Structure 1
Amino acid sequence: MLSILDRYILKKYLGTFSLLLLLFIPIGITVHLAEKIDKILENEVPMTEVLIYLYNFTIYFANLLFPLFLFLSVIWFTSKLANNTEVVAFLSSGVSYYRFLRPYIIGATIVCAAALVFSMYLAPKASKGFNEFAFKYFNKGRSDRDQSNVYTQINDNDYIYVSYFNVTEKIGSNFTLEHFEGNKMTYKIAAGQIKFNDKDSTYTLFNYSKRKIGETNDILKTQHKLDTVFAFSMEDLTPVTYIAETLNFTELNDFIKKEKARGSSYINRYEVVRYKRWSLPVSAYILTVIAVAVSSVKRRGGMGVNLAIGISIGMVFIFFDKIFGTMAEQSSFSPFIATWFPNFVFGILAIYLLRNAKR
């Protein structure tokens, strides 16, 4: 049963967080629109598409930055409580510091649960719309797909490689397909150029050659041009760089399982996206505890000092999150450690600050 204290703090927790979102989202939209308005006008984008894009933009960045918004909102209203000597009154009435913290944890649980559902199922749709619009109108000349040195395993036995694939013309160069039986290669197909035909979903190979590897000698077959069918699609040749962001929780797990079986070189990138969907909502708890510990003490400089400390801590958290996420995507560094390490470090900081605040 919630007490008057619980309801009072919980109301301020959720109310201030909602108010901060409502204040910052229009600012973010205005700044982003001012930056992109020239390209929108240049491309004569229909107003309906712009409105849908701004809607997707709002969801996309609210999902990424909600821990920071939550952190600042807790510092803001808790600092006001401290400046009005309300925190002292609560604690002087016999309420322990951990009991005082309870409504904050309840509020963090509500926000965390909502953010978890949001990031698992709603944000992926917004991410797809946001990225597709950006590459269509803002990044003309750039592709949203990996086009160079595409190498992937398409099933248990076949591996394909293309040195470069032009998405617009659907033409690739230096194509090879290697077929294995166990650990032994049985044949290899090579072509100077491969072209995907939309009309019938076939491929045309130019300067085609197929080498069948035998026990004592090889059989080589060459042909200037060959129309054929393969068991892979153009998506296998040119994966979309942000594909993991556009999949909901169930789809993402199935997709990663499939990509691992195929030996995809982008597994770390996909794993980072999956782990962040869990780590960011959990950070709501950690940042809430830090915010309370920092702002529940009445300081000589007032709310300004608490906000300055809070913003500094928030920026360091974002820095850690971005640095380790990029490190995992670009190297063999563990995606699990990369996404959870900021929570681990700031969790220790939360415990330290909480003990000091309690004293």
Structure 2
Amino acid sequence: MPTTPSSQNPSRAEDASDAGGPLLGRKAARVDRLAELMGERDESGHGSGIWRTAFARMRRSPMAITGAVIVVVFVAVALLSPLIAPYSPTSQAWGDEVFPNQNIFVGPRGENWLGLDNLGRDQFSRMVVGARQTLMVGVVATLVGFGAGALLGGAAGAASVLGGRWGRQLDNVVMRVIDMMLALPTLLLAVTVAALVGPSLTTVMIAVGVAQVPVFARLLRGAMISQGNRDYVLAARALGVRKRRIALTHILPNSLGPVIVQSTLTLATAIIDAAALSYLGLGNPDPAFPEWGTMLADAQRFLSSAPQLAVYPALAIIVTALGFTLLGEAMREALDPKLRK
């Protein structure tokens, strides 16, 4: 019966196994850590996608929890504003109690939690109803910027990945247009668009959305070019998969993560820009229409006698923008392998 070296000398086989054990263990640990960083496995060793792993990390992040609480409260107030507001935001039922020319205002009291404005309207009701308009402006503006930016950036990125003469020319043309838009400051570009179209709530949405287009376009293009150099793209090309299919079904879906994170951060910027446009008089021309930026603009005339009229909408804008910023930053850190601990 033939014998193997291990059977002839069992102690030698055991020594080899003992020597290789630590090395194999360290190698397995490195593989597990790499899989965890790539989002394929969580800390418990179970299979997990990158988004599932990111959400697991966000649940342990105080920054993410704080931002999520602020955003949830803001969205809940905006959606349930007709049920929360105790009075009509346009009702001037207490107009005979306020005399702005004599610097006589009504502060917080039992029936008016935040007091009355200069026309005798309930300030709390206007703040609550104004949250819905602010949310609508921010979401629509972000969707406009995301849609147009993703279209331009996706076309440029796909053209760059596909290569060829026409692809490079299309990429150059699109990116030169984006560079010209980036040459103007975001708020100045939004003011220019709003001034050309005319003051209205729709104008604010379009203007803020157009100002965010170059950010989404450059981000998606860069992500697609980065994904185009990955090993799975090389493997797909080696298997004979068409470049167009690789770009649309593999590279594009894997490049949307940073763009989705940016959309959360853009919501904060959109809310601030929308308030700025309304403050400059480029928002809704109807002064009775409650919106935080318009309320802030109306209150500037009474800063010395009734500063609370400006403090309430200003704090609401700051806290809401802070919530979206914290949530977006926490999501970015959770999705970035270099920032994971």
> What TM-score do you get using the length of structure 1 for normalisation?
0.25
Q: Which of the pair has more CA radius of gyration?
A: 2
| Structure showing the higher helix proportion among its residues | 2
